[in-house]
Amino acid sequence: MNAAPIVTDHSPRRVVIVGGGITGLAAAYALQEQSRKANIPTRFTLLESSDRFGGKILTEHVGGFTIEGGPDCYIRQKPWATELCQSLGLGGELIGTNDERRKTFVVQKQRLTPLPDGVMLIVPTRITPFITSSLISWPGKLRMGLDFFIPRREEKDDESVGAFVRRRLGGEALDKIAEPLLSGIHVSDPESQSLLATFPRFRALEEQHGSLIRGMLAQKRSNHNHSGNTAPSSSNGTPASMFISLRSGLGELVAVLQEALTEGDLYTGVKVSSLERTQNGFRVGSTTGETWEADAVILAVPAYISADLVSHLDAELSSMLSAIRYVSTATISLAYTRNSVKHPLNGFGYVTPRSEQRQVSACTWSSIKFDSRAPQDGLLLRCFVGGPGREELVSLENPELVNVARRELAEMMGINAQPLFARVYRWNKANPLYDVGHLERVEQIRNRVANHPGVFLCGSAYDGVGIPDCIHQGQQAAEQALKSLSLELA
């Protein structure tokens, strides 16, 4: 906020934030910091239904291992997470991936085949490694090369990621590269996943360069010219790798944020079940009958929870929110002694195309990808299950899920050793699906919610699922809430 309004009423404005994941925490922190600067006395109440803050961010420390139950890193390119870490004094704790070990494998006929060097996201940018790779057949490679000649699409409307990749690079590239790699970022089915909401950059490259490969090559050249591409860390000391984490895990961000929230009331174990408009604002109620009065309410919960909460305010808004679909996933982390595993572990892990019909969709070699995830003689691996069409696995009992992961590691990596321990993290209805038309859907939701001044929606359902996007959305919701409060006061 730029100009500080002149405040005559000194009673603090009350903001209730529902949901204590990273979005709600970031909203609370932004509210605290910005209200101070803008001289608007504000007190927030953060209500979280579970017994801890952080939502999908969950780090556990067991026997010298640092285990991430949910996200294990975030993309550096989007600045909001790094900026928040820095403002909380965590700048020195940021770590990058071990890029000298950076390699991704793709399961092909039950074997791990390296993704050719130079593939950026899904686009080959180096000829020799691509030509000599056994991942894609010769007809598949030639089809990918047609990208140089296929005219750009004239229509500007949305399409599925599957349709786009098939159109530009062909079916084999979709099956063996795009689907497994991209669904690791957005747990999604490429045939229904919105291109414009999840990978708008691909459409932009096509529009600007008439070819995805030509566009990616131009971008690579320009990045190289600007950065020299050799710096181990950027000018402000932030690791230069594409993905960033914190030395003791992302849970550190949650813990430090929580500690920094000194100007509000934080509750866990409070499940919000109602939201009503009152004469002076809103009343937020919990399942146990407690209520909170508020001048503004920030809903930082999954869209289907917000749908229930707004149902008495606006049935149409509620049904728009319910239209955002979610899927369930689970991660299974296994800890080993390093010398019990013979595999060379020469990369960050592997992804599995759907066509391979395996239960595990990806495996990250966590303690290779990042330092400080395992003791010196330890090894930490984590398997992913679930997602569209494979959700039934998530409801297996923990021992069965551990068996699924162990069978996978035995078949794919020859690991038959007994793990030191295993941890299962289940994420029910956790991943929002950005279906084709998502941008329009969100715009309609935003237009509709504007009819309810004082109510703000944010979180992974709307404008990006990654941690930086969630933080940014929480900050924007806080800013909008403060703006509405300052208008009330003016």
Tokens 């009350």 correspond to what residue? 14
The residue (of 19 and 140) whose beta carbon lies closer to ligand FAD is: 19
Q: Is 459 in the site for ligand FAD (CB under 6 A)?
A: yes
Per DSSP, helices labelled H in 261-397 are 303-309, 315-322, 366-369
Site for ligand FAD in 235-264 (CB under 6 A): none
Stretch that binds ligand FAD, among 44-52, 202-210, 274-282, 360-368 (CB under 6 A): 44-52
Residue 129, Cβ density class (10 Å: 0-12 exposed, 13-18 middle, ≥19 buried): middle
Residue 11, phi then psi, degrees to nearest 5:
-70, 135
Q: Is 17 in the site for ligand FAD (CB under 6 A)?
A: no
Contacts of 411 (CB under 8 A, 6+ apart): 110
Stretch that binds ligand FAD, among 170-178, 300-308, 388-396, 409-417 (CB under 6 A): 300-308
Q: Is 48 in the site for ligand FAD (CB under 6 A)?
A: yes
Residue 295, both tokens: 């001048």
The residue (of 326 and 421) whose beta carbon lies closer to ligand FAD is: 326
Dump the DSSP string for 181-212. HHHHHS-S-TTTBBHHHH-HHHHHHHHHHSSH
Among 16, 17, 27, 57, binds ligand FAD (CB under 6 A): 57
The residue (of 301 and 341) whose beta carbon lies closer to ligand FAD is: 301
Measure the CA–CA gap between 260 and 270, rounded to whole angstroms: 21
For residue 80, the surrounding DSSP H or E stretch is helix 80-87
Measure the CA–CA gap between 55 and 429, rounded to whole angstroms: 13
Judged by CB under 6 A, how many residues of this single chain contact ligand FAD? 36
The residue (of 336 and 462) whose beta carbon lies closer to ligand FAD is: 462
AA identity, residue 2: N
Among 104, 367, 431, 475, binds ligand FAD (CB under 6 A): 431
Q: Which residues pair with 14 in a beta bridge?
A: 43
The contact pattern for ligand FAD, residues 311-330, with x = CB under 6 A and - = no contact, is: ------------------x-
Stretch that binds ligand FAD, among 27-35, 193-201, 343-351, 425-433 (CB under 6 A): 425-433
Q: Is 135 in the site for ligand FAD (CB under 6 A)?
A: no
Measure the CA–CA gap between 421 and 463, rounded to whole angstroms: 37
Measure the CA–CA gap between 266 and 50, rounded to whole angstroms: 12
CA distances from 95 to 79, 85, 249, 255, 346 (A): 15, 12, 10, 17, 20
Residue 251, Cβ density class (10 Å: 0-12 exposed, 13-18 middle, ≥19 buried): buried
Adjacency order of strands within the sheet including 111-114:
111-114, 104-108, 349-351, 362-364, 378-386, 326-337, 421-432
Residue 460, phi then psi, degrees to nearest 5:
-65, -10
Contacts of 83 (CB under 8 A, 6+ apart): none
Q: From the CB of 94, what's the least distance to ligand FAD, in Å? A: 14
The residue (of 125 and 333) whose beta carbon lies closer to ligand FAD is: 333
Q: From the CB of 373, what's the least distance to ligand FAD, in Å? A: 13
Among 460, 475, 484, 486, binds ligand FAD (CB under 6 A): 460
Q: Is 382 in the site for ligand FAD (CB under 6 A)?
A: no
Stretch that binds ligand FAD, among 66-74, 204-212, 253-261, 407-415 (CB under 6 A): 66-74
371 and 95 in contact (C-beta within 8 Å)? yes
Among 136, 195, 266, 305, binds ligand FAD (CB under 6 A): 305
- Positive or negative, the Cα torsion across 334, 372, 122, 183? positive
End-to-end CA distance of the chain: 15
CA distances from 230 to 97, 128, 439 (A): 15, 22, 37
Among 90, 173, 301, 310, binds ligand FAD (CB under 6 A): 301
Stretch that binds ligand FAD, among 22-30, 365-373, 407-415, 475-483 (CB under 6 A): 22-30
The residue (of 322 and 340) whose beta carbon lies closer to ligand FAD is: 322
Q: Is 297 in the site for ligand FAD (CB under 6 A)?
A: no
Stretch that binds ligand FAD, among 29-37, 65-73, 363-371, 374-382 (CB under 6 A): 65-73
Q: Is 56 in the site for ligand FAD (CB under 6 A)?
A: yes
The residue (of 77 and 223) whose beta carbon lies closer to ligand FAD is: 77
Among 271, 338, 407, 446, binds ligand FAD (CB under 6 A): 271
Among 47, 197, 360, 482, binds ligand FAD (CB under 6 A): 47
Among 35, 49, 104, 133, binds ligand FAD (CB under 6 A): 49
Stretch that binds ligand FAD, among 122-130, 154-162, 253-261, 460-468 (CB under 6 A): 460-468
The residue (of 71 and 251) whose beta carbon lies closer to ligand FAD is: 71
Q: From the CB of 316, what's the least distance to ligand FAD, in Å? A: 21
Judged by the rule CB under 6 A, the positions of this chain that interact with ligand FAD are 18-24, 47-50, 55-57, 70-74, 271-272, 300-302, 305, 329, 331, 427, 430-431, 459-460, 465-467, 470
